[in-house]
């Protein structure tokens, strides 16, 4: 009797322990499953049309032969336009080829649909291909001019801020860095160029070399004069604040003279718009009613005679 009772107790304890272990294991498995990251099926990414177009332009530009003499000039122009990517010349050459092909194809379709002769089709396609080949370079030159104008317009304000920073005790390197931070929103072009110059100085370039690179990247005459002033000041040890203040006054006087020159040319430039646009409408308003009354009153008299 005691043996049966002992066996029953053993089986009860073993069964309870087994059940408790299975419950704990199931609970631990649920906790691990809950904490594990959810596996989601990611759909296959569809390539963007812009990425496909950029890759196509890059491949075409890589196969086109680049002129050894024209490549440095192209790189300089791209840098002056604010494009510093190492593969920018390849993209530019590919864009020129694609523009020429698109313009030529559009001209061929337009002339063939218009029923033009073969000679006219050939001339139209050739002119369109030449226009497509020239258009990217003209856009690049326009972008360079716009950026240089923005730098020239914001340079006096940058000089005034540099004078304040230098007089407060900052060096020329910290001054350009502080000016780049302060003018990031008002004049981002100057801030970008000063930031690149500071990166060159941190990379180990000499200050004179970094300043000359700044003048070469922008191509702005006023900035070249500022670089010359800074290089001479650094070489001879003269007062930086006084030199910057004098150069700022010089730039403002030059800007005032350029504005006065443009204002003096305005009267001559307005002659043709006034003659061809304003005077005909003025004659129509003033002489028109008089001619209407004359015709209305004189025609009956002439008919009666």
The pLDDT of residue 15 is: 62
The pLDDT of residue 244 is: 84
Per-residue b or e along 140-162, where b marks 16 or more CB atoms closer than 10 Å to that residue's CB: beebbeebbebbbebbbbbbbbb
Of the candidate ranges 23-37, 107-121, 235-249, 275-289, the one whose mean pLDDT is the lowest: 23-37
- Taking residues 225-236, report their average pLDDT: 85
Domain ranges of the chain: 53-147, 153-268
Tokens representing residue 172 in the block: 């020329």
**pLDDT level of residue 41 (50, 70, 90 thresholds):** very low
Residue 141 has pLDDT above 90, yes or no: yes
Of the candidate ranges 25-29, 91-95, 163-167, 204-208, the one whose mean pLDDT is the lowest: 25-29
**pLDDT level of residue 46 (50, 70, 90 thresholds):** low
- Taking residues 134-150, report their average pLDDT: 93
The pLDDT of residue 134 is: 92
Query: pLDDT for 82-120, tens place per residue?
Result: 888 888 888 888 888 888 889 989 988 888 887 778 888
Neighbour-count burial of 241, counting CB atoms closer than 10 A to its CB (0-12 exposed, 13-18 middle, 19+ buried): middle
Of the candidate ranges 2-16, 116-130, 212-226, 259-273, the one whose mean pLDDT is the lowest: 2-16
Tokens representing residue 115 in the block: 């029923």
- The answer, as to whether pTM is greater than 0.75, is no
**pLDDT level of residue 12 (50, 70, 90 thresholds):** low
Query: pLDDT for 143-198, tens place per residue?
Result: 999 999 999 888 888 888 888 888 888 888 888 889 999 888 888 999 999 999 99
Where are the alpha helices (H) located in the chain, listed in sequence order?
A: 2-35, 49-63, 70-80, 88-113, 118-167, 172-182, 188-202, 207-218, 221-236, 240-269, 271-273, 279-304
Tokens representing residue 232 in the block: 């001479």
Asked if 193 contacts 154 with a C-beta cutoff of 8 angstroms, the reply is: no
Tokens representing residue 288 in the block: 């028109």
The pLDDT of residue 139 is: 94
| Dist. CA 116–CA 122, nearest whole Å | 10
Q: What is the CATH number of domain 153-268?
A: 1.20.81
Asked if 197 contacts 211 with a C-beta cutoff of 8 angstroms, the reply is: yes
């Amino acid at each position: 009797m005691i043996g049966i009772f002992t066996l029953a107790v053993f089986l009860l304890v073993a069964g309870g322990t087994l059940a408790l272990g299975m419950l704990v294991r199931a609970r631990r498995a649920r906790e691990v499953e809950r904490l594990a990251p959810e596996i989601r099926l990611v759909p296959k990414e569809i390539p963007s049309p812009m990425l496909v177009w950029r890759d196509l332009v890059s491949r075409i530009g890589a196969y086109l032969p680049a002129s050894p003499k024209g490549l440095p000039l192209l790189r300089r122009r791209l840098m002056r336009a604010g494009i510093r990517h190492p593969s920018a010349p390849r993209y530019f050459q590919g864009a020129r080829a694609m523009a020429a092909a698109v313009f030529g194809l559009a001209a061929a379709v337009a002339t063939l649909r218009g029923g033009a002769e073969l000679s006219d089709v050939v001339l139209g396609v050739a002119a369109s291909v030449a226009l497509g080949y020239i258009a990217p370079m003209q856009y690049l030159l326009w972008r360079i001019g716009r950026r240089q104008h923005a730098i020239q317009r914001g340079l006096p304000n940058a000089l005034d801020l540099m004078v304040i920073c230098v007089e407060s005790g900052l060096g020329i390197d910290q001054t350009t860095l502080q000016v780049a931070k302060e003018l990031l929103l008002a004049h981002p072009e100057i801030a970008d160029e000063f930031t690149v110059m500071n990166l060159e100085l941190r990379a180990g370039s000499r200050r004179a070399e970094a300043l000359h690179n700044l003048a070469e990247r922008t191509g702005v005459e006023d900035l070249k004069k500022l670089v010359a002033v800074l290089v001479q000041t650094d070489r001879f040890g003269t007062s930086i604040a006084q030199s910057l203040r004098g150069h700022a006054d010089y730039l403002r006087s030059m800007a005032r003279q350029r504005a006065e020159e443009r204002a003096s040319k305005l009267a001559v430039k307005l002659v043709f718009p006034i003659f061809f646009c304003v005077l005909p409408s003025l004659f129509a308003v003033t002489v028109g009613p008089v001619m209407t009354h004359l015709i209305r009153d004189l025609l009956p008299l002439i008919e009666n005679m």
